[in-house]
Amino acid sequence: MSKKQKLLESVQKNLAKGQTKKAIKDLEKIVKSEPGDFRNRQKLADLYVRCKMPSEAYGEYSTVAEYYAENGFNLKAIAVLKQMQKIDPSQKDTYLQLAVLNEKQGLVGNAIAEYEALVDKYEEEGDSTESLKVLEKMKEIDPENIGVQIRVAQALMRNGLEEKGLEAFREVAGGLEKRGDFARLRRIYEMFIASFPEETS
């Protein structure tokens, strides 16, 4: 029996006894001797979470997610990144990676949700420039999303880009008119008046 097999047996025995920290030490030895064993890296990260060792778990998950993403295992990368997001929801890069990978998989709704969360993070920090960049990306991948179009128009105004904001509001209004969505069109018009009073005087 190889050294690795002995260690893996020891991991199982320790887990069966509820001795998670001992199992962690065995897995750490395996990962140290075989850094490319991403399956056991992920298992190690899971055990770190169980033992309330978030920074260690985050580091291992990050390595695993990077490997999966680089090798085209997008769904696996997404699953690992979601674990990272639970551990530290403040990391904006995780939201971005999730959005990009979901978009690659054609999961536009999921991508939009991650981008929206990222926009909220930037807005909490008062970073309207980065917020606008993300909103424009959302509009690019889901051009029919009226809610996103409105947020883009508002963000353009907050960034002092009144002409572009005005154009964006008109684009939204035109789309709603074509659809016959007059209730929503009225709300947009009210928002438009509040934002551009000089255009309606």
The CATH number covering residue 39 comes to 1.25.40.10
- State the total domains in the chain: 1
Q: At what angle do helices 182-195 and 146-158 cross, to 10 degrees?
A: 0
Residue 110 lies in a domain: no
**Are the CB atoms for 134 and 119 separated by under 8 Å?**
yes
Poorest-pLDDT segment among 12-16, 25-29, 69-73: 12-16
Residue 65 lies in a domain: yes
94 CB neighbour count, 10 Å cutoff:
25
Residue 124 lies in a domain: no
Residue 56 lies in a domain: yes
Residue 66 predicted with pLDDT over 90: yes
Residue 26 lies in a domain: yes
Distance CA 105, CA 111 (A): 9
Taking the mean position of all CA atoms in its chain, how far away is CA 24?
29
pLDDT of residue 145: 82
Q: How far is CA 70 from CA 36, 64, 101, in A?
A: 13, 10, 11
Mean pLDDT of the chain: 88
Residue 199 predicted with pLDDT over 50: yes
Distance CA 132, CA 48 (A): 37
| Residue span of the structural domain in which 10 resides | 1-72
Global pTM reads: 0.82
pLDDT of residue 83: 97
Residue 68 lies in a domain: yes
Residue 89 lies in a domain: no
pLDDT digits (tens, 9 = 90+) for 92-147: 999 999 999 999 999 999 999 999 999 999 989 989 889 989 998 998 998 888 78
Which is more confident, 106 or 190? 106
The predicted model gives 59-86 an average pLDDT of 97
Query: How does DSSP classify residue 105?
Result: T
Which is more confident, 192 or 40? 40
Residue 101 lies in a domain: no
